[in-house]
Structure 1
Amino acid sequence: MYFLMFEVIVFLQFSAVGAIKTTGSYWTLKPNVIVVDVDVAQDMDMIQVPLICGEEFEGTNITWKKNQEELLEASGNQIIVTVEGWKGANYSCYNSEGSILNHTLVLAQWTFRKIIKNTPSKGYIHCSSNNYGGSFKCSWTWGANRDDQVAVVAHIKVMRSHSESQISCSLDPRGQSITCLDQHYCPYAEEVERINLTIYFRSSYVLETYYTEFYIRDIVRPDTVDISKINQTSVKLDYPNSWNTPYSYFPLIFQVKEIRCRKSKKCDCSKPNSHETYLTQNHQLSVTKRMTVCVRARDTFCNSPWSEWSHYKCNSRKDRKQRNQELKLNKMQKFIMH
């Protein structure tokens, strides 16, 4: 368990990523972690993997244990272990006094997709950003059989296609998303290279790899539009506070429709309806009495995702209550004056 916790701590401190070296049927994911590529077409795939305790321990009396329990017959600074199928393990080396010197975690990578779910609209990994500040968030859904104790994010590799980039990511406490920031991103310059993101998920001693690439401009999704009342027949639209300024350089376009909704709290603007939608960049809209206006926004120049819907009903119960209070106040003032 000590080594499992160690892997998580190492990941949380992770920032820049180097190249992954490949050798035969196994390769190094990061220090102290070796991945074996499993051929699922074979009933029993056996791969030999060389392990080394450390160059500084050459010539000393070294013993090895598998999963900190099973003592191996092989001894010495360098040994060879056989990995069968998807049966990885954690191999630890000890000195003659029984003190641990080092460890190597051996994981088996297969082509199955079981650790996280695939959703029809978002795929395995869904990435989004609410502005052009260089930050983005990527999320996923754990599979139904996920065990919180063994299924974790093992490693992240994120970079631009060719140029050197400084992108750092942090894992949320629940392990269901990462938040990343591209330190060199400039919102006023053309984005010429995609972000390449690879996430390695580990369940026990099995590893699954998921890859996606994107431009920030393709995943920008504004926060919800603010709608405020001007009078009984018009409303005002305001950009989200999180959106980039100046608005003249980062303009939004609004999609608008009106729906009938008896209770404003239960209005669902996303449902298909017979009412026509239209696009506008105007910040003031005319609305029909007893109708609810629905508004969402996206970048004017990119075919990026729409924001969530916002809705407003001018003659709502809240407005009627406010008008009744105003009438009562006026009557009281007249009574006092007389």
Structure 2
Amino acid sequence: MLFVFAVICAFLHVSYQSPRSHWTLLPNILVVEVDGTLSQQPLSCIELPEELMRIGNQSQGIFWKKNGKEEAQRGNSYLVQLEESLGGGNYTCHSKDGSLLNHTEVLISEDETKRRKILVKNDQEHYLKCSTQNYNGEFQCSWTWHPSRVGKVAFIKARRVSDNNSVQCSLDSSSQQWVCFSDHSNFSCMVDDSGRGISCLDKQHCPYAEESQPIHITVYVRTKQFLVEDYSRHFYLSEIVKPGKVRIVKINSSVIEWSYPSSWSSPYSYFPLTFQIAQLRGECRRCNNPCTDSKAATTEMVHSPGICQFPVWHKAKVVCVRAKDAICDSQWSEWSHVSLRGSKKNRRHNKEEA
């Protein structure tokens, strides 16, 4: 009989291992790393010893709920049963009269080799697509949810790589903005209304100084099934800068004028742009964008410190203009275009687009 009991104990010991590791993402949010084996994660309802001593025998009356449904386990301690990716949820503990005493959200982080991605890669083979329209310290990152695993942002961490491990990140009282700060950086990030991107600002960035260290951004996303994954990118602003659309207007049938995007950093003499001008022989009425769907008759490059007037080819009917950083090898802006031979309706549309 003792032998059988020993075998059962040994089996239980092997079957229910402790998770590989666990850590706190935010107050009352626990991330548990699993590798597919059976394991258990203990939770405590009342953690302070003096508080536990104060209630004494009353702790036996504590009961637990998982996602609002009462569990069989009783007492101050609760063992979360983890099997493969299952076990995550909202765990609450209550006093005998039903009052809420504590709560813990358990998120599951699967082993990297077994993980099915919550996000999908973009055409640049990144999970996060990051860009900025200037050097003022603002940038945006977006992503694409996997069709069957749409979730939401659980946590954001942004810092300069040179910062030490003392970076602290928290969610503000409105639960809409994450703030990360250290001795050398101060970032704030907000999730877009679409839930598919974030906007961030490095409040201590100086646009007139050379960036000595790249930005490191990590976005933690979670699903309704309480799975959590993190995705990271690091970059200099100069590597992700993409100017906004150039403002372009028609002066007359042979001259156009353009100016720098309103979102671009100033002074323009310190942040110069290079412009590409494409002149089209005819209008493509069925095209979504004549600048990308039509072949240019002539193309020229122009360096301009500000507003520029440009004489166009006498046979041109559409002129397209785009810009890029003249110093760094940045991305080109989206094309802006103006019709030179269009109807009054087209001319009005061109003015509105500008």
TM-score, normalised relative to structure 1: 0.78
Does residue 34 (structure 1) correspond to residue 10 (structure 2)? The answer is: no
TM-fit CA distance, 1:137: 1.4
Does residue 152 (structure 1) correspond to residue 152 (structure 2)? The answer is: yes
Q: Distance in 2 between matches of 1:74 and 1:191?
A: 56
Does residue 298 (structure 1) correspond to residue 324 (structure 2)? The answer is: yes
Q: Distance in 1 between matches of 2:221 and 2:148?
A: 14
Q: Distance in 2 between matches of 1:306 and 1:65?
A: 54
Q: Distance in 2 between matches of 1:320 and 1:73?
A: 72
Query: What residue in structure 2 maps to residue 188 of structure 1?
Result: 208
Partner of residue 47 from structure 1, selected from 26, 30, 39: 39
| Alignment of structure 1 residues 9-28 onto 2, 5 Å | 24-28=20-24
Does residue 308 (structure 1) correspond to residue 307 (structure 2)? The answer is: no
TM-fit CA distance, 1:275: 4.2
List per-residue Cα deviations over 1:266-290 (Å, max 9, x = no partner).
4431247364533221423231223
Whether contact under 8 Å (1:126, 1:138) holds in the other structure is yes
TM-score, normalised relative to structure 2: 0.75
Whether contact under 8 Å (2:39, 2:81) holds in the other structure is yes
Stretches of structure 1 that go unaligned for 5 or more consecutive residues are: 1-22, 323-338
Query: What residue in structure 2 maps to residue 331 of structure 1?
Result: none
Q: Distance in 2 between matches of 1:122 and 1:264?
A: 34
215-224 vs 284-293, greater mean Cα deviation: 284-293
Q: Distance in 1 between matches of 2:290 and 2:109?
A: 43
Q: Distance in 2 between matches of 1:273 and 1:300?
A: 25
TM-fit CA distance, 1:310: 0.7
RMSD between aligned residues: 2.5
Q: Distance in 2 between matches of 1:81 and 1:103?
A: 13
Paired residue secondary structure (2:206): coil
List per-residue Cα deviations over 1:29-63 (Å, max 9, x = no partner).
12111112232xxxx42232221223344233132
Whether contact under 8 Å (1:25, 1:47) holds in the other structure is no
List per-residue Cα deviations over 1:83-125 (Å, max 9, x = no partner).
1111112211112222111111111113434433322147321
Paired residue secondary structure (1:270): helix
1:321/1:183 Cα in 2 relative to 1: closer, same or farther (>3 Å)?
closer
Does residue 58 (structure 1) correspond to residue 55 (structure 2)? The answer is: no
TM-fit CA distance, 1:146: 4.5
Whether contact under 8 Å (2:278, 2:296) holds in the other structure is no
Whether contact under 8 Å (1:157, 1:199) holds in the other structure is yes
Query: What residue in structure 1 maps to residue 229 of structure 2?
Result: 208
TM-fit CA distance, 1:250: 0.8
Does residue 277 (structure 1) correspond to residue 299 (structure 2)? The answer is: yes
Query: What residue in structure 2 maps to residue 84 of structure 1?
Result: 83
List per-residue Cα deviations over 1:249-301 (Å, max 9, x = no partner).
11111122222332568443124736453322142323122332211101111
TM-fit CA distance, 1:233: 2.0
Query: What residue in structure 2 maps to residue 333 of structure 1?
Result: none
TM-fit CA distance, 1:321: 8.3
Paired residue secondary structure (1:269): helix
Whether contact under 8 Å (2:323, 2:332) holds in the other structure is yes
Q: Distance in 2 between matches of 1:278 and 1:72?
A: 75
Query: What residue in structure 2 maps to residue 10 of structure 1?
Result: none
Paired residue secondary structure (2:198): strand
Query: What residue in structure 1 maps to residue 249 of structure 2?
Result: 228
Instruction: Give percent identity, aligned residues only.
Output: 41
Q: How many residues align?
A: 292
1:247/1:215 Cα in 2 relative to 1: closer, same or farther (>3 Å)?
same
